[in-house]
Amino acid sequence: MANGQDAIIPKYKTTQILVSSNEYEKDNYLAFPAILRLNPDEVLVSFKRGTQHGGGKEARLDMMHFDTKNNVIIERKNLASDPGLILQMGEWVEFPNGSIKLYIDSQHSGHDNDNYRTGLRQVSVRKTKDGFEASKTELAPMVDGREYGYAFDFIVKDKITYMLVMGFGYRPGGKWSVDVIQSKNNGKSWTLVRNLTEEFGGHKINESAFIPWEDGFMVTTREYGQNQRIYFTDAEFKVIKENNLSSSYGFIESHIGRPRLFSRDGNLYLLGRNWRTMEGEGRRMELGLFKINPKSLAVEKWFILDNSERAHITDGYYAVPYFQEKEGKTYFNLINYKGANKTFPSIERYEFFWDEIK
């Protein structure tokens, strides 16, 4: 079992600044990347352009078409904007019929200037001879009179698309929960599969992730507060086994910010923002990766992928992973946002040898 002293720091790492906040005179707070793999050598990337982490007047989303083999940007353009709305974070999905949508956490300022959701929005993206084109944004369909607000993750399996999504009590439907919903018609309509907040014991959770596993699913949840949990469920998202990682391991002090789950060669990994306190240095933010035993749900080993030097990172580490094969080697890549010492964050790419991590 991993302990608090055995963090692994990969020896090989390269960093590429994809979009610098210094490129812009305004709307230069760049954050929250999300990716969609198009083929073995290309991805689409969305990211926020605004003035601050949360809120900011009329923040928008931009898009990159990125060549992952040669590490060059093919195209960059505005993806979505809405007068009067804050477009906070998008999440991509390619439906079984090949159509592509981005689902957007949309907000306006309300409730004594706290961020206030306005309903989950969607934008369709298609490739043309001149590049990628995006439709205007529109509200995503309601589910049995329920309006959702923040999409976390998608799974496409057996022509069914599952969305992991959060609903907010002040929106139509009047209920706070993280749910799994599904579509069998490429996003035209959705139905409820399971209220995970109830299934997982009523914990107040928000940012979550899931992947298919054996005959069921692996799900990880970030609780408001101190707890990061991981669950193995059956095909109907009923709990079979769970582990509270924060109470089990000293190197996960609270929760993992914007967690991501992925698998490779039969192994399970959890990625995201981790906070750790060290004597004489205080509490610091770092990008953590945790290899999890899928049978016991225990952490087998863990890695510090960024900020092992314990710098003052002011915001960052909502990272998204992808793999790239080049010249017979497998590279593990992350697209991340990061700002240090109160500078506005930029969009960055990190590359590692997968053999050092697996």
Whether the Cβ atoms of residue 40 and residue 330 lie closer than 8 Å to each other:
no
* C-alpha dist (Å) from residue 35 to 64, 65, 321: 9, 10, 8
d(C-alpha 60, C-alpha 73), whole Å: 20
Instruction: Write b or e for each residue in 6-37: b if 16 or more Cβ atoms lie within 10 A of its Cβ, otherwise e.
Output: ebbebeebeeeebbebeeeeebbbbbbbbbbe
Given this model, what pLDDT does residue 44 score? Answer: 98
Given this model, what pLDDT does residue 208 score? Answer: 98
pLDDT along the chain (358 residues), means of 10: 74 98 94 98 97 86 98 97 92 98 88 74 96 97 97 97 97 96 98 98 97 98 94 98 96 96 96 93 95 97 97 97 96 97 94 96
Given this model, what pLDDT does residue 5 score? Answer: 60
Whether the Cβ atoms of residue 182 and residue 169 lie closer than 8 Å to each other:
no
Given this model, what pLDDT does residue 3 score? Answer: 47
Given this model, what pLDDT does residue 225 score? Answer: 82
Whether the Cβ atoms of residue 348 and residue 15 lie closer than 8 Å to each other:
yes
Q: Quick check: helix, strand or coil at residue 268?
A: strand
Q: Quick check: helix, strand or coil at residue 247?
A: helix
Given this model, what pLDDT does residue 155 score? Answer: 98
What's the number of CA atoms in the CB half-sphere (13 Å) around residue 341?
A: 2
- Would you call 89 exposed, middle or buried from its count of C-beta atoms within 10 A (0-12, 13-18, 19+)? buried
Return the bridge partners of 157, or none: 160
Given this model, what pLDDT does residue 114 score? Answer: 57
Q: Angle 137-142-148 (CA atoms, 0-180°, nearest 5)?
A: 75
Given this model, what pLDDT does residue 135 score? Answer: 97
* C-alpha dist (Å) from residue 116 to 84, 206, 218, 240, 288: 12, 15, 30, 35, 30
Given this model, what pLDDT does residue 329 score? Answer: 96
Whether the Cβ atoms of residue 265 and residue 274 lie closer than 8 Å to each other:
no
- The overall longest dimension of the chain from CA atoms, in Å, is 57
